[in-house]
Amino acid sequence: MGNEKAHLAPPPTTEGGMRQRWKDRDEAEMMIDEHRFVQRGKNMLSEMRNNVHMQKGRTGFLVSETHLTRRRDGSRRGEEAGSRWPGRRKHTPMEATRRMEVGRRQEADSNSTVQKQYRDKYGQKEMIPVAANDVAFSIHAVLLTAISLIQIAIYDRGSQKISKIAIQILFVAWSTAAICFFVALHNHHWLWLLSIFTGIQISMTIIKYIPQAVMNFRRKSTDGWSIGNILLDFSGGVANYAQMAMQSIDQGSWVNFYGNIGKLLLSLVSVFFDILFMCQHYLLYPENKRKPEASHEPDNAKPSDRPLSENV
């Protein structure tokens, strides 16, 4: 009976007790090593759990107790844990968040070569003068122009066709853009390439306004032509200048004007031609001057002798 009680007694947990129970020295040393490793694993698991609780709202790592007990070298396990989670216990959550924000800013600054080249030219502290409304304006212009081209392709144009001058202008513009693109691709001068595209855009804007102004001058009339688009375009140009002025005043710098010369000149050209068209429509060739001239025409006048607006 005494032997059974001794056999059912729990095994000793001290090193001396283990040596007495197992006479074999090698087996006792192995059991002692396992006992030490289990204790170290439990201590590490307890510390990790406390660390996870302290990191409120942040991602933690679940470490199973059975995985820890299978490793033979506790110190090696600790070194691997330190390499996997470097600095976890050295920084508070606020410091870690601040470090992440600084890293994101540095990554955003280094992502765009164009932004870096712009800041190197105009200053590191200057804001890049491209807002969401500028991108929306470009998308809006491309979509409406594409719709107009589709209408030209599917609707009856009569005898109208693209002139040879227009084809030559398009060829020169696209050829210039392609050559400059490959030059910038080799040298990585993307800011220079954008300035070339800006010059092409301003040139196309001037070219597109001139034919209508010349036609109004030759006809001495603006019949068959809508002034509503001009009024809207003029309002947008004035609002664009107001936006640039407010941003410059807020930042204490006028880089929004000379740092984005393409936007400045584009608005200037649009406003200039809008004022010219409004002068033609309301001052030079107003409607009250055209009606008396049309009323004096004889009834038997030929269609070719009538104003161009009636033939349209």
State yes or no: pLDDT of 257 exceeds 70: yes
Q: Which of 69-83, 87-101, 188-202, 228-242 has the lowest mean pLDDT?
A: 69-83
State yes or no: pLDDT of 42 exceeds 90: no
What's the per-residue H, E or C state across the chain? Answer: CHHHHHHHCCCCCCHHHHHHHCCCHHHHHHHHHHHHHHHHHHHHHHHHHHHHHHCCCCCCCCCCHHHHHCCCCHHHHHHHHHHHCCCCCCCCHHHHHHHHHHHHHHHHHHHCHHHHHHHHHHCCCCCCCCCHHHHHHHHHHHHHHHHHHHHHHHCCCCCCCCCHHHHHHHHHHHHHHHHHHHHHHHHCCHHHHHHHHHHHHHHHHHHHHHHHHHHHHHHCCCCCCCCHHHHHHHHHHHHHHHHHHHHHHHHCCCHHHHCCHHHHHHHHHHHHHHHHHHHHHHHHCCHHHHHHHHHCCCCCCCHHHCCHHHHC
CA Rg value for the chain: 40
Confidence band, pLDDT 50/70/90 cuts, at residue 144: very high
Mean of the per-residue pLDDT values of the chain: 75
In this prediction, residues 192-209 reach a mean pLDDT of 93
In this prediction, residues 22-40 reach a mean pLDDT of 72
Q: Which of 1-5, 136-140, 196-200 has the lowest mean pLDDT?
A: 1-5
- At 234 the pLDDT is 95
Nearest to 137 by CA among 30, 243, 247, 259: 243
- At 74 the pLDDT is 52
Confidence band, pLDDT 50/70/90 cuts, at residue 306: very low
Query: In Å, what is the CA distance from 262 to each residue of 132, 194, 218, 222, 278?
Result: 17, 9, 31, 30, 24
In this prediction, residues 231-260 reach a mean pLDDT of 87
State yes or no: pLDDT of 224 exceeds 80: yes
- At 98 the pLDDT is 65
State yes or no: pLDDT of 220 exceeds 60: yes
pLDDT digits (tens, 9 = 90+) for 277-295: 999 999 999 876 655 555 5
| Better-predicted residue by pLDDT, 70 or 60 | 70
- At 57 the pLDDT is 45
| Better-predicted residue by pLDDT, 193 or 37 | 193
Cα separation, 147 vs 157, in Å, equals: 15
State yes or no: pLDDT of 241 exceeds 70: yes
- At 291 the pLDDT is 58
In this prediction, residues 150-157 reach a mean pLDDT of 90
Query: Which residue bears the tokens 């109004």?
Result: 216
Burial class (CB in 10 A: 0-12, 13-18, 19+), 263: buried
- At 1 the pLDDT is 47
- At 310 the pLDDT is 40
Predicted TM-score (pTM) above 0.95 = no
